Structure 1
Amino acid sequence: MASVTILLKKEKANKAGEAPLYLRLIRDRKTQYIALGLRIRPADWNEELRRVKKSHPNSTRVNLFLAQKAAEAEALSLDLEMQPEPVALKGLKKALSAQSSESFLQYFTRYLAALERAGKMGTLDKASAVYSKLRTYLGTKDLLFDEMTVSFLRRYERYLGDERGNTVNTIHSNLKIFRKLVNDAIQEDLITPAMNPFLKFKLRLEKTTKTYLSEEELEKLWQLPLPEASNLFHHRNLFVFATYAGGIRISDLLQLKWANFSGSHVRLVMQKTGEPVSIKLPNRALEILQLYRQTGANSSDFIFPFLKAGRDYTQPRVLFRAIASATAYANKDLKLIAKRAEVETLISFHSSRHTFATRALTKGMPIEYVSKLLGHSSIKTTQIYAKIVNTKLDQAMDVFND
């Protein structure tokens, strides 16, 4: 019969200082390890007794769980040993791993809680919607990691498309979160790499059209007469400012304060990526800022008049709702502004980023600089705009065919 020991692998501690617990199986001088799906601080572990100390907030519950898993391993080992043809140690590990499979749903809820603690409200809202769909599909059933197979993913993909009416790209974004969680669980040694269904299941993605304004269309927007101090006036200015100021996201623009402006540069930390960026403003962007510069303005005042002065936005949920509401309002107004300016391109505020990128590349700015200003984590994302510019150049050469 295999000997069974519970071990804390301190060398695998994560950034929070928590190390994973394992079952160690030894038979015929061969060793196998099974992750138990639990992490604790080494200070809470009694190495001699192989138990969690009382200093751990859930010591009683964890110790019962560990005792149960050790007993299950010993019992299964004995059962397999008594079979006519004894099962190899790897077979014992496989059988025990199936019994000890982590709940994907529980892991998902822990991920949502971590997003809440980190204040990542945008990501939390998207991930919560994905979790809600999965919960509806499963009903009262749980979903273990070893049940997330290629066949399960194919069934769920059909469900999202046929019954939920989701597009290919919406399905992609849903399953992309599943893939992230599976990869995270592998990194934490909760499951083995062999249990990853995404090694065989490939996500599908359809190409989307990036909407952007030409120089002529952008100038039409800028020259459109609008009542000063109206929301249409402010939303137009905000959009045009973004097209000149590095395609700053609206979530960052709304929070921009005079403290972020040096007189020539805007310096900020992007909310989405956490990356610092410094942008030298061209003349038109400076011209727009002058429209909002008031005598006696404090460095803590918002530049653009959308978030309310004096309102406490330190709570991530409060800030997220304010930004979401202001963004929806801006997108609604932009459609009206474009119509008045006789611009046929259908735009949203995100089109300001696309407009900046295509204009910058057309004017010869190196793609590495464009990527940095946009805050892209990979230059591959920025290369999409380079393809757009190349297509425009190809079309321009068609004049020689006339």
Structure 2
Amino acid sequence: MVTKKNLSILVWLCRNKKSKRTGLVPIYLRITINSESDELSSGRKTLESIWDKERKKVVGDGPQINEVNDRISQIQADLKRHFIVLDAMYTFVTPQMLKNVYHGLPAMTEKELKGKNKELTLMEAADRHIAFVEEMVERNKLAVGTLKTFKTTRIKLREYLKYEFSKEDIKIVKLNVGFAYSFYEYLTLRDPARIEANSAYKYLSKTKQFIAEAKKRGLIDAHPLQDFQCKYIPSERRYLEMEELLRMYNKPLINRLAEIRDVYIFCCFTGYGYIDVEALTKENIYNGLDGNKWVSKARGKTNERESVPLLPIADEIIKKYHDHPYCVVKSRLLPVNSNQKYNSYLKEIADICNIGINLTTHTARHTFATTVTLENDVPLETVSKMLGHKSIKTTQIYAKITQRKVSNNMEMLKNRLFDVDGSIRHL
């Protein structure tokens, strides 16, 4: 993984450069990154007699003394600020690079950069980006699922490199578009899991992202896989019809299945996914401008806020579990089991209720988007807002025009244009 880069800055007096005439001693800063050090002049001098060794500053009053101390503090702040930027851009940072940027120069000369470019490997690029994503997850800027996908991609890459080249890493400058095609063939034909095309393209997309991020940060000159196109095959978005939804809701079930069923129904009538419902608390419920109850939460996947008015069924489910032991102990709205049990129990429920599709958190969101909202004339823009989508294009993937919707619209048209006997009306 990427080596953690630690910066320390020591302020000290360079006594061997003390002026014999004035007795003034230059103030220097020693920059250390991991075990490598370099020195930077502050451009200021002071007398040893008024230098505080412990506090690393000049003691006393007066504008000149204050100016020296302010200058030292400013240099330290500037160095730390530049270091943060360099740390985000490079897999390595040296004191000389930090000094260069501080003086307004490029961190590395073109010759130095090209030398480093030749050394950067695919696994190093992957590790660098994964470290960045990990930090973003810690700050709640990205979802854990996103990090998991990048880590899985790295695993698949390493398995492929072992299979194809009998080694665990490769320099990026040695890659070409053929590498991408070969990796795709491995995933779909050689990988023991026999990965589907869309999943394989997902891993290729993440691989390209590893390299693209390295290029953006100046770590490589070119993106060798740039011309490889990930050709996703549109998949059918499965969802429940209203009859199936109500059949499941009204079906008598034992407690362990009834709880899972209720959580799933809640998702169908709010559009929330498993990870978001699991985290819901009383604080997520509020009274909207319309005087009705709303539920609001930033989605774990995108960090976009998803605010939805509570429909009666969803509100009824929340009330049902108000005093449930799990909800009381965990301070949660609903008794959500582990994801593994949740999916396993949903399969049982589907069999019992004679439902032919695979029930997942995705089918619940599709059901909300299609059966619950769009089929009942809720505008696409409104559905997009409630689903917490950043772009309405994402919602359009969910928003499949169903046969029922076509039938309802044409029935309205027929009633408007024709009489009961089938004769056209005179409009």
TM-score bracket for the superposition, by shorter chain length = 0.5 to 0.7
1:125 deviates by 2.5
Matches within 5 A, 1:161-310: 161-164=188-191, 165-192=194-221, 195-227=222-254, 230-245=255-270, 247-262=271-286, 264-294=293-323, 301-306=331-336
CA distance in 2, matches of 1:15, 1:294: 53
SS at match of 1:189: coil
Relative to structure 1, is the Cα distance of residues 99 and 285 closer, same or farther in structure 2, using a 3 angstrom cutoff? closer
Residue type of the alignment partner of 1:129: T
CA distance in 2, matches of 1:126, 1:385: 22
The residue number in structure 2 matching 1:355 is 367
CA distance in 1, matches of 2:351, 2:369: 23
1:141 deviates by 4.9
Which structure is larger by alpha-carbon Rg, 1 or 2? 2
1:328 deviates by 1.8
The residue number in structure 1 matching 2:47 is none
Relative to structure 1, is the Cα distance of residues 375 and 42 closer, same or farther in structure 2, using a 3 angstrom cutoff? farther
The residue number in structure 1 matching 2:85 is 18
1:50 deviates by 11
Is 1:340 the counterpart of 2:352? The answer is: yes
Greater shift in the superposed pair: 388-397 or 104-113: 388-397
Relative to structure 1, is the Cα distance of residues 41 and 368 closer, same or farther in structure 2, using a 3 angstrom cutoff? farther
- If the length of structure 2 is used for normalisation, what is the TM-score? 0.64
The residue number in structure 2 matching 1:10 is none
Tell me if structure 2 keeps the 8 A contact 1:270–1:277: yes
SS at match of 1:376: coil
Unaligned runs of 5+ in 2: 1-79, 288-292, 415-427
1:397 deviates by 8.3
The residue number in structure 1 matching 2:382 is 369
Matches within 5 A, 1:2-81: 17-19=84-86, 38-39=92-93, 44-45=98-99, 73=111
1:109 deviates by 1.3
Using the aligned pairs only, state the percent identity.
25
SS at match of 1:18: helix
SS at match of 1:373: helix
SS at match of 1:45: helix
CA distance in 2, matches of 1:295, 1:20: 48
Relative to structure 1, is the Cα distance of residues 355 and 126 closer, same or farther in structure 2, using a 3 angstrom cutoff? same
SS at match of 2:401: helix
Tell me if structure 2 keeps the 8 A contact 1:17–1:41: no
Residue type of the alignment partner of 2:361: F
What is the alpha-carbon root mean square deviation over aligned residues? 3.8
The aligned length equals 315
Tell me if structure 1 keeps the 8 A contact 2:118–2:171: no
Tell me if structure 2 keeps the 8 A contact 1:259–1:300: no
Relative to structure 1, is the Cα distance of residues 379 and 190 closer, same or farther in structure 2, using a 3 angstrom cutoff? same
CA distance in 1, matches of 2:83, 2:272: 33
Residue type of the alignment partner of 1:379: I
- If the length of structure 1 is used for normalisation, what is the TM-score? 0.68
Relative to structure 1, is the Cα distance of residues 254 and 40 closer, same or farther in structure 2, using a 3 angstrom cutoff? farther
CA distance in 2, matches of 1:48, 1:184: 24
1:46 deviates by 5.5
Residue type of the alignment partner of 1:107: A
Tell me if structure 2 keeps the 8 A contact 1:261–1:267: yes
Relative to structure 1, is the Cα distance of residues 375 and 197 closer, same or farther in structure 2, using a 3 angstrom cutoff? farther
Residue type of the alignment partner of 1:301: S
CA distance in 2, matches of 1:279, 1:48: 49
